[in-house]
């Protein structure tokens, strides 16, 4: 998924919204001690996470299937998908992950974010624990 330049977004109070980037440990889905630290954009508008292919392959994360993805410009691309664990501080959980190709933006999607019990605080632009509901 190609990178694109984005202008800052203005909040209702006139301040600029930032982009939340932070470092996560990405772990092999079975052998959690096999991990790598990666800086990811926390993208609450994306469902699935994207980690560079080289990182996932170095950890031995297996490809489970190949999926089509539609880009904002309407183009359809294919990417390999597997599963990995993500860890930030004491928060850890498994989630699907796209094997990112050159030019793909590394990001943590909403599925992994919620599975770890985290949310983005819109005021501070920091991660914080989320209240979980079992309905």
Q: How do residues 46-98 score in pLDDT, each as one tens digit?
A: 999 999 999 999 999 999 999 999 988 999 999 999 999 999 999 999 999 99
Domain 21-122 is found in CATH 2.40.70.10:
yes
pLDDT class for 19, splitting at 50, 70, 90?
Answer: confident
| 130: Cα separation from own chain's centroid | 17
End-to-end CA distance of the chain: 35
Q: What is the pTM of this model?
A: 0.84
Q: Helix or strand or coil: residue 70?
A: strand
Q: Which residues of 21-50 are buried (b: 16+ CB within 10 A; e: fewer)?
A: eeebbbbbbeeeeebbebebebbeebebbb
Q: What pLDDT score was predicted for residue 132?
A: 84
């Amino acid at each position: 998924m190609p990178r694109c330049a984005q202008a800052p977004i203005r909040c209702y109070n006139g301040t600029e919204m930032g982009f939340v980037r932070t470092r996560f440990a990405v772990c092999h889905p079975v052998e959690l001690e096999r991990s790598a630290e990666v800086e990811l954009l926390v993208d609450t508008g994306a469902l699935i996470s994207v980690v560079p292919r080289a990182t996932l392959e170095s950890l031995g994360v297996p490809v489970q299937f190949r999926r089509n993805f539609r880009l904002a410009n309407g183009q359809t691309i294919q990417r390999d998908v597997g599963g990995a664990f993500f860890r930030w501080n004491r928060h850890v959980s498994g989630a699907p992950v796209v094997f990112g190709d050159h030019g793909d933006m590394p990001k943590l999607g909403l599925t992994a974010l919620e599975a770890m019990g985290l949310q983005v605080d819109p005021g501070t632009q920091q991660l914080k624990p989320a209240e979980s509901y079992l309905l």
